[in-house]
Amino acid sequence: MNRIKLYISIFFIGTFSISAFSQIPEFDKLEMLYSQQHYKLVYRKANNLLDVPDYDFSMLPIYYKSISLFQLCQNERYLSKHPSALLEAKKLFTEVKKSGDGKKIFQAHENEIAFLKNDLLAWSEELRRSENKETFDQLQLIMKDLFDFVPNIDNQGQVKEVANKTYKATGVIRNDLANYAMTFIGTPYLWAGTDPKGFDCSGFTGYVLKEFKVNTQRRAVDMQKECIEVKQKNAQKGDLVFFDNGSGISHVGMIISEKDQPLVMIHSSSSKGVIITELDKSEYWLNRIHSFGTYIK
């Protein structure tokens, strides 16, 4: 009788292990909340699950505790209150990576990790620009040690590059802005870059606008505060689109599509430099849109 109970127990443990990525409601909840950028809630719930022995068969709570903590660290106020959080996130991520289930978890959550890598690259750019050398150096080591195996988001099929083509004009200035911006397709990405030798995201949009006698703030977050807000349905050529990774404005691009048409932007991507992206075909960028703005009156 005891032997039968043992076999039954082994069967159920094996079943739980196989289905751990999709059959446990608590794990599904973590994934859903993380996709909605509720990072504090994910961190708290994942931490609570680690105190429940019933979930010891899976590394997913540790995984979600780690990636939510990486996201929280990008908030300057949070990091100042929790100075060891970045190293804790690294430790947890390393624990998952070295575990027997690590490969399965990373394969099942490939896009999630690729999105996180892209967010950390954007944060790294902000750290360098703000001359926060200590955190910047710390993050560089983490990226090298933990995320080298993660493909860039532009290679995930999430961001589609579009051939250089002409979009129908909506006013001379807007059309000229879009056409001028597209002459820089292929220009490499460069941290703090502000000229054709290499651009970062705000360096690119600022350079294009300056050619048309429009002077802008240097950082994307300041551009967003300075320009005139535009509703998404009214966005058109020459307008800017701002993105938030959950910790504030982290990226900016320029719209090159017509009003009432599917949104298309040109931007300086940290992985491929200046490219064109169809927003409605990019899960990563679409989910991170913060707002739209314009300098064109």
Domains of the chain: residue spans and CATH: 2-151 (no CATH), 172-294 (3.90.1720.10)
What is the pLDDT at residue 169? 33
**pLDDT average, residue stretch 264-277:** 89
Q: Which pLDDT score, from 0 to 100, does residue 133 have? A: 85
Instruction: Name the residue type at position 123.
Output: W
Residue 176: pLDDT over 60: yes
Looking up tokens 């988001």 gives 153
Grade residue 145 by pLDDT with cuts at 50, 70 and 90: confident
The reply to whether the predicted model has a pTM over 0.85 is no
Tokens (6 digits) for 293 = 């703005």
Query: What is the structure's pLDDT at 168?
Result: 36
What CA–CA distance (Å, rounded) separates 278 from 266?
9
70: left (phi over 0), alpha (psi -120 to 50) or beta: alpha
* Residue position matching structure tokens 């890598």: 117
Q: Which residues contact 100 (CB under 8 A, 6 or more apart)?
A: none
Label residue 154 by pLDDT band (50, 70, 90).
Answer: low
Averaged confidence pLDDT in the chain: 82
Q: Which amino acid is at 16?
A: F
Please say whether the beta carbons of 294 and 230 come within 8 A.
yes
What pLDDT score was predicted for residue 172? 61
How far apart, in whole angstroms, are the C-alpha atoms of residue 220 and residue 296?
Answer: 17
Model confidence over 48-87: pLDDT tens digits?
999 888 888 889 999 999 999 999 999 889 999 999 999 9
